[in-house]
Amino acid sequence: MTTSTDLVEVRAGLYHDSVSLMRISQALSSRPGVTVAVVAMATELNLGLAREVGFEIPAAGPTDLLVALRAGSEAALADAAQELDRQFAALARGGPSGGARAETAPRTIRSAARAWEASLALVSVPGEHAFAEAMDAIDAGLSVMIFSDNVPVEQEVLLKERARERGVLVMGPDCGTAVVGGVGLGFANVLRPGPVGVVAASGTGAQQVTSLLDHAGVGVSHVLGVGGRDLSAAVGGRSTLMALSALDDDPATELIVLISKPPAPEVADTVRRAVEGLSTPVVTALLGPGQDDLTAATEKALCALDVPVPQWACWTVPQEPRSGELSGLYSGGTLCTEARIIAGTGAFTDFGDDDYTRGRAHPMIDPTLRLEALGHASGVVLLDVVLGHAAEPDPAGRLAPAIREARARGTAVVVALVGTESDPQDLRRQADDLVAAGASVFTSNAAAARHAASLTGRVQ
């Protein structure tokens, strides 16, 4: 069904994972003349969001794919439709359903495990459907990374209990980052191989530590994300304990780094007791008042490996102290928490929280909400830019105009740039572009937070 400026299609029985669809939506949104682009599975949530912005949606179900485009002209709409076809063609060429395998592709996780001799499944479906798929993977004897968010905590506990019984690992739900055997999953940086294994109840926390290790010339064996709630009282560290044990048994892992947002105290005690029983040394970064920040924990890991601690790269521009509030505009929840603890003051927003990602791409893919907030901020603004696979291809290019506008109205901008020299966005170019726009840039989030606090006269 089309009008002069709208295109609405329901493609029956066509599934793509949420990360791929978010990237397509973002690519279409950035086309000249396109005002709205919704490319998503036709869940009730996504159908409702499309109707809220004025699209007339035909009958569709959660196994169908919804395309809803709006442009300012017929020419812009036709251009977006061509780009949509190009994006889907690229997915078909690169995915397991493309090419000669399409007619024989397994239809369930269990059959895929048998056909492809798999040991790990990645589940990236709407949260209400993730439990069934993850349980199918566990019952097939697979470890599973659950990228999906909005999975009830009761289901998370059931999945992790079942995984313990089967001797497999559940990473997630809401596990955004993992590296298994050198293969990055989700939002993953390009990391060199090495002796450090990471267990992380935090995606961006893991990315910060492993990126700093990479800057120091140290690589990783595995990065096992366990989901941000794993060290909560409700979940009890179930996957953390299993992941620690797995890395302790791994001959390629010489040192383990354990990372988490502030854990439940009783769970932290349980995990610390487990750490004491391991044969592999462990450095902990359990964020909280009086605890090591992520950079300090990384430096402890380097010292344990007898590797010199480098000066963490930064590029500063002249910025006078500013009156007014410190505003933290973050895409990473753990980075946001760390900065809030270090700064000790200010208003901090995690735009990657479920409340902000409802029906839209993660801010590491789509910076729209952060750009809007930056456009109204005053005083000192602190934000993160996280590089790596699946993230925005040129985040500095998207942020630079808003940073220039902020500087023009007297706002200081400080950026924590998380990534490695090998990431596809080119870390040095990103730093140069951000500095040229007027931001001070730090590869350490902790250093960025201290610098931002100093500009308000509040040094912690």
In this structure, what CATH number is given to the domain that contains residue 241?
Answer: 3.40.50.261
pLDDT category of residue 435 using cuts at 50, 70 and 90: very high
Classify residue 431: in a domain, yes or no: yes
Tell me, what's the pLDDT at 359? Answer: 64
- Its domain, for residue 406, covers 314-455
Classify residue 206: in a domain, yes or no: yes
| Residue 259 φ then ψ, to 5° | -125, 140
Tell me, what's the pLDDT at 349? Answer: 96
Give the mean pLDDT of 90-107: 57
Q: Domain check: are 120 and 256 in the same one?
A: yes
Alpha-carbon span 285 to 297, nearest angstrom:
6
Domain termination site, one of 76, 99, 122: 99
Q: Domain check: are 34 and 94 in the same one?
A: yes
Question: Which residues, listed in sequence order, are joined to residue 193 by a DSSP beta bridge?
Answer: 220
| Residue 197 φ then ψ, to 5° | -100, 140
Q: Domain check: are 263 and 409 in the same one?
A: no
Q: Domain check: are 71 and 133 in the same one?
A: no
Q: Domain check: are 274 and 252 in the same one?
A: yes
pLDDT at 100 over 60: no
Q: Domain check: are 90 and 116 in the same one?
A: no
Q: Two tokens at 399?
A: 């942020």
Q: Domain check: are 260 and 357 in the same one?
A: no
Tell me, what's the pLDDT at 411? Answer: 94
Q: Domain check: are 165 and 73 in the same one?
A: no
pLDDT category of residue 104 using cuts at 50, 70 and 90: low
Alpha-carbon span 128 to 253, nearest angstrom:
36
Domain termination site, one of 99, 129, 156: 99
pLDDT category of residue 458 using cuts at 50, 70 and 90: low
Tell me, what's the pLDDT at 248? Answer: 98
Helix (H) or strand (E) holding 44: helix 44-52
Q: Domain check: are 50 and 113 in the same one?
A: no
Tell me, what's the pLDDT at 96? Answer: 43
Classify residue 1: in a domain, yes or no: no
Q: Domain check: are 21 and 142 in the same one?
A: no
pLDDT at 237 over 50: yes
Give the mean pLDDT of 178-196: 95
Q: Do 237 and 297 contact (CB within 8 A), yes or no?
A: no
Contacts of 451 (CB under 8 A, 6+ apart): 316, 414, 440, 442
Considering the entire predicted model, what is its pTM?
0.85
Classify residue 460: in a domain, yes or no: no
Lowest mean pLDDT among 111-120, 352-361, 443-452: 352-361
pLDDT at 356 over 90: no
Give the mean pLDDT of 388-417: 95
Classify residue 309: in a domain, yes or no: no
Classify residue 120: in a domain, yes or no: yes
Question: Beta strands 183-186 and 120-123: pairing type?
Answer: unpaired
Domain termination site, one of 250, 274, 304: 304
Classify residue 184: in a domain, yes or no: yes
Q: How many domains would you assign to the chain?
A: 3
pLDDT category of residue 20 using cuts at 50, 70 and 90: confident
Give the mean pLDDT of 294-300: 98
Classify residue 104: in a domain, yes or no: no
Q: Domain check: are 154 and 299 in the same one?
A: yes
Q: Domain check: are 291 and 216 in the same one?
A: yes
pLDDT at 138 over 80: yes
